[in-house]
Amino acid sequence: MKKNVGILIFENVEVLDFAGPFEVFSVSSEIHNHSLFNTFLISETLETINTINGMSVQPKYNFENAPHIDILIIPGGAGTKIIKDNSTYLKWIKKTYLSCEYMLSICSGARIIANLGMLKNKPFCTHQEVYDEIVELEKTGLPQKNKRYTHFDNVYTSGGISAGIDLSFEILKKIHGNDITNSTIQCMEYNLNFNTNE
């Protein structure tokens, strides 16, 4: 069955954090008759989002009209410093997480799930410059600085920026296996070594 991939965006989101996973899931579906995933951007409202470095992006859905989400992706960026304390975002993320199959934190998106209390005694990855901050937010968190991504239960976290692409391929492989994953890697011309993960 086709899965919905919802990618959260917000002011000062890091472009590759959401665009990389968007490409993995949407391209994999495109080259397989658009049968695998429905990938879309979500924000609190339908207003245009300004990313880090000035790209303007339009979300397809807001918190009120978004469809059911099977895979929730939380990117990073400077905006996570504000979003991690925004009760509207936190409430929506927590509610959505309870009904999704996978939740992926990309880069400094780990700030948000740390503030939700989800990293208690759990392994996590984040951007190399954010580890100390995450440990301050959740002192029992277990930093995995030598890994591109890691997971506990159905929550996955990845390191800085480009690591979100690697993690997205890992989820693709978990759901649809090696053949579809490899065909997507070849289409995207991405050099990925699955032996470098956890």
In this predicted structure, what is the pLDDT of residue 192?
A: 63
Question: Alpha-carbon torsion 116, 122, 128, 130, what sign?
Answer: positive
Picking from 109, 110, 29, 101, the residue whose alpha carbon sits closest to that of residue 69 is 101
| CATH topology for the 3-196 domain | Rossmann fold (3.40.50)
Per-residue pLDDT, 76: 98
Predicted pLDDT of residue 196: 43
The pLDDT of residue 193 is: 58
Q: What is the pLDDT of residue 191?
A: 81
Residues of the chain with pLDDT under 50: 195-196, 198
